[in-house]
Amino acid sequence: MKIIQCSDYNELSLYVAQQFAQTIKSKPDCVLGFATGSTPIGAYKKLREMYDKGEIDFSKVTSFNLDEYYPIPPTDKNSYHYFMKENLFSHINLPEANINIPDGITTNPDDECKKYDERIERAGGIDLQLLGIGVNGHIGFNEPSASLESMTHKTSLTEQTVKSNARFFNSPEEVPRFALTMGIGSIMKAKRIILAASGENKMKAVEMLESGKINTMWPATVLNAHPNVTLVWCK
């Protein structure tokens, strides 16, 4: 694992945006994996700026998001559909037909999850996947557990994640208790992974990841078994 320590959030965001820009430049029809949450907001802003300057073209890119709450309509301002539109998609020329995010209103979550993995396969796999990390070490919504699920699946959020994500909602009661998330296997299939961690509260999870050991109670540590991971972090 390559480890990059940044002096601040701006430097971290610039690094992530540059890696995405380079991937698009070297392979215009690349498949990108996006994450939501606070961490990637700065990188998405920088990608928008690069697009505005004519430095990158998303017209042939395909994207897959890691996860979506369940149930939640795409028009809900806390949905990851809404987040991606606000922070990236409505500002760039990534064709709507190339955007993939798990459907938060599907009536058949199991089928939606199965088809999501199939869509990733059909697209040729993810060239570059961005990950954030939960305070508890989760990636996507793969929460700490004695065993981790491989494929995209419906999952329950832990109380800690509900508490942590409540900052985006009016109250903890409004946070959906479920999510559809790429599984650990779906994530590990990505050709390259960048995990971005920002803030003191992520340092324990970063430490566990840096230890090199794999422990399913700290899900991100499975990335130690992937051949091309970059961990970029700042306090």
Is residue 132 close enough to count as binding ligand F6R by CB under 6 A?
Answer: yes
Q: H-helix or E-strand containing 78?
A: none
| Residue nearest to ligand F6R as judged by C-beta position | 132
Is residue 144 close enough to count as binding ligand F6R by CB under 6 A?
Answer: no
Q: Is 143 a catalytic residue?
A: yes
Sign of the torsion angle spanned by Cα atoms 122, 123, 128, 129? negative
* Shorter beta-carbon distance to ligand F6R: residue 58 or 141: 141
Nearest distance, CB of residue 43 and ligand F6R, angstroms: 11
CA gap 205, 228 in Å, rounded: 19
Binding residue (CB under 6 A) for ligand F6R from 79, 102, 117, 138? 138
18-77: which residues touch ligand F6R (CB under 6 A)? 35-39, 66-67
Nearest distance, CB of residue 167 and ligand F6R, angstroms: 8
Q: Is 91 a catalytic residue?
A: no
Answer for the pair 79, 25: CB distance below 8 angstroms, yes or no.
Answer: no
Nearest distance, CB of residue 57 and ligand F6R, angstroms: 25
User: Which residue among 81, 138, 153, 165 is the active-site one?
Assistant: 138
CA gap 98, 131 in Å, rounded: 20
DSSP E strand boundaries for 148-228: 153-156, 178-181, 192-198
Distance between terminal CA atoms of the chain? 19
* Shorter beta-carbon distance to ligand F6R: residue 138 or 153: 138
Burial 18-40 (b: 16+ CB within 10 A, else e): ebbbebbeeeeebbbbbbbbebb
Residues that bind ligand F6R (CB under 6 A): 35-39, 66-67, 132-134, 138-140
Q: Which residues are catalytic?
A: 67, 136, 138, 143
